[in-house]
Amino acid sequence: MSIFSTDILKKTDAYVPGEQPQDKSYIKLNTNEFPFEPSDAVKAVVNSEKAADLRLYSDPTCRVLKNAIAENYGLDAENVFCGNGSDEVLALSYLAFCKKEDTVVFPDISYGFYPVFASFFGLTYKEIPLKDDFSIDINDYFSDCGTVYIANPNAPTGLALNTEQIEEILKNNPNHVVVIDEAYCDFCDCTAIGLIKKYENLLIVRTFSKSYALAGARIGFALGNKELITDLEKAKFSFNPYNINRLSIEIGAAAMNDREYFEKTVAIIKENRDKLTNDLKELGFTVLPSGANFVFAKKDGFDGEQLYLKLKENGILVRHFSKERIKDYLRITVGTKEQNAALIKTLGRIIK
């Protein structure tokens, strides 16, 4: 800390992202990236003469990207907000909707950025414990005391609520926005998009980082009613109007429009997830049923951190969290068949 740092900066524990090693190459199953390359349509944009246009500012309305997203989901462009990764969309949602006098709520085990944003923006927050089986008890979210953040499927557990359960939460928070973070929703059938027209307090946050193989392009978006989107636009125009670079706007639209590639590759990941789950179970691991592109698993009698370190020594990166309740678990991104097989083989050797 410098002598100039603000109290809020001093009090905030910054988010710690998963390792992004730049020195050595690993089988990288630690930050839920997509193991396949982006679609050819995306590569065509990157390799086109559009790079020459980088001298110009990007479109602050992200029109091309919004239109592609709206068309895909059967919504209007005015229902879509675009951000520099869904992290930025989430941050702007805190600025737009979380009031000082309220209490922001989210599960105690969920995306690690939720408490960081709350702390950084000087907000009161409450972390609600998951049940013993790591599921969310929706009754815990009926207090209507502030913005609700729920990752669905949840991370790092992979467990998902169904649409009826999301609807109950929306009904019971009529005075606050309920943010459903659907970063992993393309890997299951639990989206709340169908509720947008019915609930003015629903904001869905999504990303191109996982199912569209574009983590490095930094593109996220929100879907909701026109008023919520207008508020987010106001927050963005008070902060960083050109928030998405020119190439990423075009890249996102190209990826969204290539439905064939999206469907084909997401289907492979789901298939690989089932096989990975079964293989881990055969090694004696407990594996939570995952609706995401990762699995959350532990092996009784083995320390999670030791397993993580041993895998790393063997060139395989997975994610370990030191939080007491989940310290024996590993969060393993679903990779290609070959990557998953290498993981299983190495784990088998380690636990022998």
Interface residues toward ligand PLP, by CB under 6 A: 32, 85-87, 111, 151, 155, 181, 183, 207, 209, 215, 220
* Nearest CB to ligand PLP, comparing residues 87 and 258: 87
CB of 283 to ligand PLP, least distance (A): 26
CA-derived radius of gyration, the chain: 20
CB of 28 to ligand PLP, least distance (A): 13
* Nearest CB to ligand PLP, comparing residues 187 and 344: 187
The closest alpha carbon to 304, from 287, 325, 320, 288, belongs to 320
* Nearest CB to ligand PLP, comparing residues 109 and 215: 215
Q: How far apart are alpha carbons 90 and 103 in whole angstroms?
A: 16
Q: Please, are residues 195 and 163 in contact by the beta-carbon 8 Å criterion?
A: yes
DSSP classification of residue 293? S
* Nearest CB to ligand PLP, comparing residues 110 and 299: 110
* Nearest CB to ligand PLP, comparing residues 209 and 225: 209
246's tokens:
């020119």
CB of 288 to ligand PLP, least distance (A): 15
CB of 114 to ligand PLP, least distance (A): 9
Q: Please, are residues 200 and 211 in contact by the beta-carbon 8 Å criterion?
A: no
CB of 10 to ligand PLP, least distance (A): 25
Q: How far apart are alpha carbons 296 and 125 in whole angstroms?
A: 26
* Nearest CB to ligand PLP, comparing residues 58 and 209: 209
* Nearest CB to ligand PLP, comparing residues 181 and 250: 181
Q: Please, are residues 63 and 244 in contact by the beta-carbon 8 Å criterion?
A: no
* Nearest CB to ligand PLP, comparing residues 186 and 279: 186
List Cα–Cα distances, 283 to 82, 166, 328, in angstroms.
42, 35, 16
139's tokens:
């009754």
CB of 349 to ligand PLP, least distance (A): 29
* Nearest CB to ligand PLP, comparing residues 279 and 291: 291
Q: Please, are residues 176 and 147 in contact by the beta-carbon 8 Å criterion?
A: yes
Q: Please, are residues 159 and 189 in contact by the beta-carbon 8 Å criterion?
A: no
> CB-hemisphere CA count at 13 Å for 234?
10
237's tokens:
């125009």
CB of 215 to ligand PLP, least distance (A): 6
List helix spans (H) across the chain: 7-11, 40-46, 63-73, 85-97, 113-120, 163-171, 226-237, 246-257, 259-282, 304-313, 337-351
CB of 335 to ligand PLP, least distance (A): 16
CB of 85 to ligand PLP, least distance (A): 3
Angle between helices 85-97 and 113-120 (to 10 degrees): 40
Q: Please, are residues 272 and 297 in contact by the beta-carbon 8 Å criterion?
A: no
